[in-house]
C-alpha cells in the first residue's frame, strides 16, 4: 500500500532498527502524529503464545490510571434493584427483556455491555450477534457481575479489555496524543505490568517478542521492553 507524504515524513524521524526507551518512544509517538484530530495512541504486544491452548488464550480487563480519552457508552442488562443500581452508577441504558429485544432488532448504540448472571440465559440467544462484535458480556472481563455499580464506574473511568488474537498479539488503546507524556507512560506501564503478571507458565522462551506503540495512521515505534521492566 502506498504511503502518503506526511506518513513518510513522520517515518523519517523513527529509526526502524532501534528499540526506544519508553520516554523516547512516547515523545516520538506524539511528535509523529500528523492527523488533524486528537489521535488514539495504541500499543501492540507480539507475544510468544499459542491461542489454541486454553491457558495461553489470554483475555481480561484493566483500569488504566488515566483512561483512554474516550468515555464508553455502557448498557446494563439487569432487573429490579440491580437495574436501579446501574442507573444510579451512570449507565447509559438499563433494561432487561425489552432491551434484549431491541438489540435483536439491530440496535447497537453502545460500546460495552454489562449483565447480571441471571440475565445470561436470555442473552445467550444474542450470542451470534454480540460475539463477533466483541460485545458479549464475559466473567473474565468483569462484565458478568452482580456488582454492576463497580463495573459501570470502572468502564466509565477508563477500563479497557484485552484479548490475544489468532497469532498471539494483543492490541490496546492507551490514550490520545493530547495526553501528557507521563500519562501515556503510566498507562503503557500499567498494561505491561498486567501482561507480565499473567504470563502463562507453559510459555517456552521469550514471552514478549516485541512491543510497538503508534498513533492513528502514523508509523510504529518499537519499545525496549527493558525500560518497562525497570519501571515495574
The domain spans of the chain are 14-67+159-230, 74-156
Burial status of residue 186 (CB atoms within 10 A of its CB: 0-12, 13-18, 19 or more): middle
User: Phi/psi of residue 95, each to 5°?
Assistant: 175, -175
What CA–CA distance (Å, rounded) separates 47 from 90?
Answer: 36
Q: What's the confidence (pLDDT) of residue 99? A: 94
Q: What's the confidence (pLDDT) of residue 2? A: 56
Q: What's the confidence (pLDDT) of residue 34? A: 82
Q: Which residues contact 15 (CB under 8 A, 6 or more apart)?
A: none
| pLDDT tens for the chain, residues 1 to 232 | 556 777 777 777 777 888 999 999 999 999 888 888 999 999 999 999 999 999 999 999 999 999 999 889 999 999 999 999 999 999 999 999 999 999 999 999 999 999 999 999 999 889 999 988 989 999 989 999 999 999 999 999 889 989 999 999 999 999 999 999 999 999 999 999 999 999 999 998 999 999 999 998 888 899 999 888 876 5
Q: What's the confidence (pLDDT) of residue 149? A: 96
Q: What's the confidence (pLDDT) of residue 152? A: 96
Per CATH, the homologous superfamily of domain 74-156 is Ribosomal protein L1/L10, domain II (3.40.50.790)
Q: What's the confidence (pLDDT) of residue 208? A: 95
Q: What's the confidence (pLDDT) of residue 193? A: 95
Nearest to 228 by CA among 35, 22, 48: 22
What CA–CA distance (Å, rounded) separates 149 from 89?
Answer: 5
Give me the torsion for CA of 210, 20, 62, 137, rounded to 10°. -50
The reply to whether domains 14-67+159-230 and 74-156 share a CATH topology is no
The answer to whether the predicted template modeling score (pTM) of the entire model surpasses 0.95 is: no
What CA–CA distance (Å, rounded) separates 22 from 25?
Answer: 5
- Give the fold, CATH level 3, of 14-67+159-230: Ribulose 1,5 Bisphosphate Carboxylase/Oxygenase (3.30.190)
Amino acid at each position: 500500500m502506498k504511503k502518503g507524504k506526511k506518513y513518510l515524513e513522520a517515518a523519517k524521524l523513527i529509526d526502524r532498527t532501534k528499540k526506544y526507551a519508553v520516554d523516547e518512544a512516547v515523545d516520538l509517538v506524539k511528535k509523529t502524529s500528523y492527523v488533524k484530530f486528537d489521535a488514539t495512541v495504541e500499543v501492540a504486544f507480539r507475544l510468544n503464545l499459542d491461542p489454541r491452548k486454553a491457558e495461553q488464550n489470554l483475555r481480561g480487563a484493566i483500569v488504566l490510571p488515566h483512561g483512554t480519552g474516550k468515555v464508553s457508552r455502557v448498557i446494563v442488562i439487569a432487573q429490579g434493584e440491580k437495574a436501579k443500581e446501574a442507573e444510579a452508577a451512570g449507565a447509559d441504558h438499563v433494561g432487561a427483556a425489552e432491551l434484549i429485544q431491541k438489540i435483536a432488532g439491530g440496535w447497537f448504540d453502545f460500546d460495552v455491555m454489562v449483565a447480571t448472571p441471571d440475565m445470561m440465559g436470555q442473552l445467550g440467544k444474542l450470542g451470534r450477534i454480540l460475539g463477533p462484535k466483541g460485545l458479549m458480556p464475559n466473567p473474565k472481563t468483569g462484565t458478568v457481575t452482580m456488582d454492576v455499580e463497580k463495573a459501570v464506574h470502572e468502564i466509565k473511568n477508563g477500563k479497557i479489555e484485552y484479548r490475544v488474537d489468532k497469532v498471539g498479539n494483543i492490541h490496546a488503546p492507551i490514550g490520545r496524543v493530547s495526553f501528557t507524556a507521563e500519562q501515556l507512560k503510566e498507562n503503557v506501564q500499567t498494561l505491561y505490568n498486567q501482561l507480565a503478571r499473567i504470563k502463562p507458565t507453559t510459555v517456552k522462551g521469550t514471552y514478549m517478542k516485541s512491543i510497538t506503540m503508534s498513533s492513528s495512521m502514523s508509523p510504529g515505534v518499537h519499545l525496549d521492553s527493558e525500560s518497562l521492566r525497570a519501571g515495574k
